[in-house]
Structure 1
Amino acid sequence: MAKLCNDEVAIVMIPLPAQGHLNQLLHLTRLISTYHLPLHFTGTTVHLHQARTRVQGWDPLSISNIKFHEFPTPCYENPPPNPNSTTKFPSQLMPSFHATCHLRHPITSLLRELSCSNKRVIVIYDSLIAWVLQDAPNIPNVECYSFRSLSAFTIHSWNKPNSVEENDGFLKNLPSMKDSLTLEFLEYSKVQREYRKNVSSGDLYNSCYEIEGLYLDLLSKGNSTGHKQWAIGPLNPVKPFARKESRKSSICIDWLDKQEPNSVIFVSFGTTTSLSDEEIKELAIGLEKSQQKFIWVLRDADKGDIFNGKSRKIELPKGYEERVGKRGLIVRDWAPQLEILGHVSTGGFMSHCGWNSCMESISMGVPIVAWPMHSDQPTNAFLVTEVLKIGVVLKDWAKRDELVSSVEVEKCVKRLMVSEEGDEMRKKAMELSKSVVDGGGSGKEMDSFIAHITR
């Protein structure tokens, strides 16, 4: 790859301060770094610390052409998550989202400074933080590209265009958006959408044509603005992990090393979900009765500031860990999800179906037990189970108000881990993984995007 001139084009990354969003843009920064362009990763002080602390698969300190810009924000409320809320949406993060409006002026100053010493300044911003760029159109050599953290399938289905494909069959059975988002977040999103209209020169997707070709094409055809789009995923590292690639030893990986291939189901619901005590009890019993090996990440959802405030102490049924013994590993802190999914012993993933987790699971060839909680997760679960056919449904979104029973947990875990149907899904997931790794968008599509911005 020819080395590009560093003083012609600079790139500025602006993530939304939530783990799944921070993670995707940080991985994208890593991919762009190989093109030898100067990179500037911006954000609040606390959230940049969070992103760098939790990154997996590579060390951000090892990339010399990434400069981190930490901007302080005024104090905001930092409420704990409510595991008993009537909705699973992480409302506790909203104060930190609203606080990002204070990034407008420092980011504008950075863009003006960079515009004086570069032919072009390229801004890649999370589509949910567009309001910080309202001054960008006044800087002549700044171009802004919206990063869409959702799947193309979700965006297409939420837009509900009158397409032949939609009228043709199974898409009529898509889960409802009802109760997946709060009114406060919908209003916040509406504001960002209005600002996005004025600044965006194109869209980037953490996806690829091997996974979502039809829906990426439909989005392109339905694009009335003429904006270009690039499917540059998967953004996460896609090679199975060797021990030497891990930055530090992990109890999870040490434990997995002792298990048989495809014998372990990984249970994790991301950083925005808190299970109630009842849900935890039923899940625990279901995993125990399934008699399958498991790693269970048992932790509360993130607060707006993960480094401040106490975390809830989550209780398991009395004597539970002693009963499951060496068959189950309970992790109550941050777990190396990419390494776990990439381990040969991992044969399944019980997931909330956040798009970040879906892409990681697909790229590692691991089928999914789908338990969607909020936002785009019900639609992602539909994509995984009904379109790609590499997963089973544990929680039907139409029954979102009902408690998932231990019987249902046991049944779904066994269905994925110890049945011919589960074996077939594993085979299909591995085939999809191979096609993604061999031909995914982080190659040719990324080359196309870089060629466009350095034209």
Structure 2
Amino acid sequence: MATVDHNRGIGKTSVIVVIVPFPLHSHSNQLLQLSVLISSYNIPVHYAGSAFHNSQVRARASNALNFSEIHFHDFPIPPFIQDPTKIPTEKLFLPYFHAVKQLREPVVDLLHDLSTKAEGIIVIHDSMTSSAVRDVSSIKNAESYIFRAITAFSIFCFVSLNLGNKFLQIPKEAEIVNSDNPIEIPSTEGDFSVETANFIAHQKQFMKSSAGDLYNGCRLIDGVFLDHLVKIQKNNQKVWSVGPLHQYAKTENGIGNSINGRDKCLEWLDKQEPDSVLYISFGTTIYMADHDRQLKELATGLELSETKFIWVFRSDADYDKKEEILPQGFEERVKGVGMVVRDWAPQLEILDHPSTGGFLSHCGWNSTLESISYGVPVAAWPIAVDQPMNALFITEVLKTGVNIKEWARRDQVVSSSEISKAVRRLMGSEEGDKLRKRAKELGAKVRSATDDGGVSRLECDSFIAHITR
């Protein structure tokens, strides 16, 4: 068994790790963070994907990530035939599914080549790229591990629904929970398109040969659900919860999202009072129902709330037409109170800033985990996939957020008055202050998980020891 020293590495190793990400940025970025973490143990890491998507994840990566030691394999995968800018909402993920289908051949060629250069090949793949690594079992010195880009709690909810359970009884071992009442699991109706559901089902048939699961989570917040998930599935699968992955970059190199000097958002935040600013972002893609109308209501609601805000405004519309979506004169009226950002924003640094007191979020797992670790309460606005489960986790389990749009109303437009009321509830009430206090206390615990001797650091050490056994 190799001796693990994450500061000095494990010395000479005969193991090579191959990472196969799902090309959606919210997934691939997590695996890039994991690649950097594993390489810090002096283990060669190869990151294999399409040339286009690999270039995207590198360009969007935090400056704190030192991926100079990562071996990137940029496969020239043919582009999806349909113009990505004209793909309807229900077909949004088709280009990513296409890329995964094209990965199988170049990945197996890479694995065969690397298998002659090391005693062991460890393949870590996104659960959504299981079909691309199906040939691992044919290589004698290779084994595969599934990376879960969503929380164990969300998977626990999906499994419970499949077993016919509409309500979730929170295990009493979860000390962070202060409720004895079962909570209703959000329905998956309308959550996945037919194409997405079929793709996920196709991937599941290739997961059975996996040697274990890795989670970008933290046992301090969802360890109970991870343990119960293992019991429900009855497969004795080895599991490691090694996150929050973004925290390793922070503890070792600083956050470092800004590219050229101090970002304009951070300069503006420097001038604001502590906990006074609401940060708003719906991730890298917006596909909310009644898109233009809902964005107008959101803008009006923010203006009515009189709350300071930074809004990362991305739209499916052409860039030159973005101004037309917002109410006329909106940006002029909120000048000094709010900031609308139309390009990339340093989310980690914004959430870590003392002036940020709330996060209006779609509740993607990256954003959810970042809000937890930086101690920022959430106004939850789930849109699709695992986001309704993440919103439930924040509002009903961790008790560090409020609903601004409940999943049951997913097909309705939230009015500006409702938005204003929810924002004030989070940012300007005694209840909001209590949520902030709870979020900060939980965030401090989660941040310590990746320190030396922390629960997530020990999980990572355990995984490294396992694959170098």
Q: TM-score, normalised by structure 1?
A: 0.91
The match for 2:260 is 248
Letter in 1 for 2:460: M
Letter in 1 for 2:295: I
The match for 2:271 is 258
Letter in 1 for 2:191: S
Whether 2:226 is the aligned partner of 1:211: answer no
Q: CA deviation at 1:105?
A: 1.2
Give aligned pairs, total. 440
Q: CA deviation at 1:171?
A: 4.1
Q: Secondary structure at the match of 1:443?
A: helix
CA offsets 1:215-246 (integer angstroms, 9 cap, x no match) = 01101222322220001110113659979774
Q: 1:246 to 1:99 in 2, by over 3 A?
A: closer
The match for 2:97 is 97
In structure 2, C-alpha distance between the alignment counterparts of 1:57 and 1:387, rounded to whole Å:
33
The match for 1:78 is 83
Q: Secondary structure at the match of 1:424?
A: helix
- Is contact 1:38–1:66 with CA below 8 Å preserved after alignment? yes
Q: CA deviation at 1:65?
A: 2.3
Q: Which moved more, 1:168-177 or 1:355-364?
A: 168-177
In structure 2, C-alpha distance between the alignment counterparts of 1:273 and 1:25, rounded to whole Å:
22
Structure 1 counterpart of 2:462, from 419, 443, 448: 448
Q: 1:157 to 1:404 in 2, by over 3 A?
A: same
Structure 2 counterpart of 1:273, from 286, 292, 300: 286
Q: Which moved more, 1:69-78 or 1:385-394?
A: 69-78
Letter in 1 for 2:157: S
Q: 1:65-144, aligned counterparts within 5 Å?
A: 65-76=69-80, 77-80=82-85, 91-144=91-144
Letter in 1 for 2:305: S
CA offsets 1:157-190 (integer angstroms, 9 cap, x no match) = 1111589x93576444121111111111000000
In structure 1, C-alpha distance between the alignment counterparts of 2:382 and 2:20, rounded to whole Å:
27
- Is contact 1:365–1:430 with CA below 8 Å preserved after alignment? yes
Letter in 2 for 1:95: P
Q: 1:279 to 1:81 in 2, by over 3 A?
A: farther
Structure 1 counterpart of 2:444, from 409, 429, 434: 434
Q: CA deviation at 1:95?
A: 2.5
- Is contact 1:294–1:328 with CA below 8 Å preserved after alignment? yes
Letter in 2 for 1:294: F
Q: CA deviation at 1:408?
A: 1.1
Letter in 2 for 1:189: I
Structure 2 counterpart of 1:32, from 28, 38, 41: 38
The match for 1:146 is 146
The match for 1:289 is 304
Whether 2:337 is the aligned partner of 1:337: answer no
The match for 2:195 is 184
CA offsets 1:266-316 (integer angstroms, 9 cap, x no match) = 0000123234110111000000111111000111369xxxxxxx6573221
Q: 1:331 to 1:43 in 2, by over 3 A?
A: same
Q: 1:347 to 1:57 in 2, by over 3 A?
A: farther
Letter in 2 for 1:269: F
Whether 2:155 is the aligned partner of 1:155: answer yes
In structure 1, C-alpha distance between the alignment counterparts of 2:285 and 2:206, rounded to whole Å:
26
Q: 1:294 to 1:96 in 2, by over 3 A?
A: same
- Is contact 2:183–2:396 with CA below 8 Å preserved after alignment? no
Q: CA deviation at 1:74?
A: 1.4
The match for 1:361 is 371
Letter in 1 for 2:434: E
Q: 1:334 to 1:435 in 2, by over 3 A?
A: same
In structure 2, C-alpha distance between the alignment counterparts of 1:203 and 1:173, rounded to whole Å:
27
Q: Secondary structure at the match of 2:93?
A: helix
Q: CA deviation at 1:338?
A: 1.0
Letter in 1 for 2:36: R
In structure 2, C-alpha distance between the alignment counterparts of 1:19 and 1:201, rounded to whole Å:
25
- Is contact 2:280–2:311 with CA below 8 Å preserved after alignment? yes
Q: TM-score, normalised by structure 2?
A: 0.89
CA offsets 1:235-272 (integer angstroms, 9 cap, x no match) = 11365997977442321112111211111100000123
Whether 2:393 is the aligned partner of 1:379: answer no
Q: Which moved more, 1:24-33 or 1:355-364?
A: 24-33
Q: 1:114 to 1:376 in 2, by over 3 A?
A: same
The match for 1:193 is 204
Identity percentage of aligned residues: 46
Q: Which consecutive residues of structure 1, in runs of 5 or more, have no partner in the other structure?
A: 303-309
Q: CA deviation at 1:39?
A: 0.7
- Is contact 2:54–2:74 with CA below 8 Å preserved after alignment? yes
- Is contact 1:81–1:301 with CA below 8 Å preserved after alignment? no
In structure 1, C-alpha distance between the alignment counterparts of 2:403 and 2:86, rounded to whole Å:
25
- Is contact 2:219–2:456 with CA below 8 Å preserved after alignment? no
What RMSD over aligned residues (CA atoms) do the two structures have, in Å?
2.3
Q: Secondary structure at the match of 1:325?
A: coil
Q: CA deviation at 1:34?
A: 1.4
Q: CA deviation at 1:75?
A: 2.4
Q: Which moved more, 1:96-105 or 1:256-265?
A: 96-105
Q: 1:171 to 1:206 in 2, by over 3 A?
A: farther
CA offsets 1:119-164 (integer angstroms, 9 cap, x no match) = 111111000011111211110111100001111111011111589x
Letter in 2 for 1:300: S
- Is contact 2:64–2:256 with CA below 8 Å preserved after alignment? no
Q: CA deviation at 1:108?
A: 0.7
Letter in 1 for 2:196: F
Q: Which moved more, 1:230-239 or 1:418-427?
A: 230-239
Q: 1:242 to 1:73 in 2, by over 3 A?
A: closer
- Is contact 1:41–1:69 with CA below 8 Å preserved after alignment? yes
Q: Which moved more, 1:220-229 or 1:315-324?
A: 220-229
The match for 2:321 is 313
